[in-house]
Amino acid sequence: MSSLIEKRSHQDERDSYHNLKLIGKGGEGSVYLVERSSDKKFLACKVLCNQVDGTPIEVRMLRDILPAHDKIIRLVEFIQSPLDTQLYFEYCPGGDLESLISSYHGRGNPFPEAFLWHVYVQLAEALAFIHYGYNAHTEDTDSHWLSVIHRDIKPGNVLLRPNARWSLENGPYLYSTIVLADFGLAISAQTPNRAPHSNYLVGTSTWQPPEIPFASPKGDVWALGAVIHALATGYPPIAVMPLHWAQTEENWERWTKEARAREISSVRGHYSSAMESYMGMALKRCLSERATSYDLFIGLKQGLIDTKLQVFSSSESTASTKLATNNYDSVFLSDMIALVR
């Protein structure tokens, strides 16, 4: 492993970063945009609010367990001192899906279907990698892989890394690479070919499967389906809270932890039957019927090919789907480009 991500604690090394602004805040701590003095490179620095004994889980996952992967956030450096713990990651200037969903659906605009397929395929590949060691070059899994489950997949933990070839003329190269981030709640199997699991609630219940608090690789798959549901509809697959319940934040939290709160909306109004079908594969209530991340990824690649053919031959495809898949949506492209300016 590179020495760049080894533990360091000297004050002169800590001072080699210039803090520019706060860009995020969550339960684990705050995230700042920083500039590295040596090469003026922008990085994202997560400062953990609770002092960590030993190596943080996220560092163990990204440095010691998972090899580098294009769809997984890149850990650059880890600095620990008696004062705090700082994790330095690549900076993804495209932001996260939570902000993009809020901005786009807030104007009443559906995302182009091409973008949903783009996000779905790339996140499914990320999950097939952490669950089974899927290698895109060999198109095979690793029989000696130590499976990892993320346990906190949600739009806010999905980042956009702008493609270096972004332009209106570049078509398929325009959309950002989709990057799975925040492995602070992840767990790993202790031996190959055994899926890790847990029976206590972590993460954000809104995005978690009906079987919560039980967590497994297929729980990550549900969360992926919930992200796609939010891209398609603007909200997670959670029903409205019962009318006889007091409409409080505490009750909402209680409601989202109940299996019966899961409710999947149809997306056929704006998207193809193929998109609805593949979203449904990830959002099966029954754990045994839900697709694995590997099967989902392989199916999605074929589904994307079939859908591109379908939009030119089937009358059921909407005009927006045809536009998105063939020419891309000019308004959406302008929004995406504006994110990195």
> How is the chain split into domains, by residue range?
3-90, 97-339
DSSP bridge pairs for 96:
159
> Within the chain, which residues score under 70 in pLDDT?
1-15, 50-52, 164-174, 191-195, 197-200, 307-341
Q: Hey, what are 226's tokens?
A: 């919930």
Distance CA 214, CA 71 (A): 26
Q: Tell me, what's the pLDDT at 106?
A: 80
Q: Tell me, what's the pLDDT at 165?
A: 57
Please name which of 180, 79, 144, 160 lies closest in space to residue 340, comparing C-alpha atoms: 160
Q: What is the largest CA-CA distance in the chain?
A: 65
The residue with tokens 């990550």 is 220
Residue 22: in which H helix or E strand, if any?
Answer: strand 17-25
Q: Hey, what are 160's tokens?
A: 């956009």
Q: Hey, what are 155's tokens?
A: 């739009």
Q: Tell me, what's the pLDDT at 163?
A: 75
Class of domain 97-339: mainly alpha
Q: How far is CA 323 from CA 100, 202, 270, 300, 319, in A?
A: 20, 40, 12, 20, 6
Q: Tell me, what's the pLDDT at 225?
A: 98
Q: Tell me, what's the pLDDT at 226?
A: 98
Query: What pTM, to 2 d.p., does this model score?
Result: 0.84
For domain 3-90, the question of CATH label 3.30.200.20 is answered with: yes
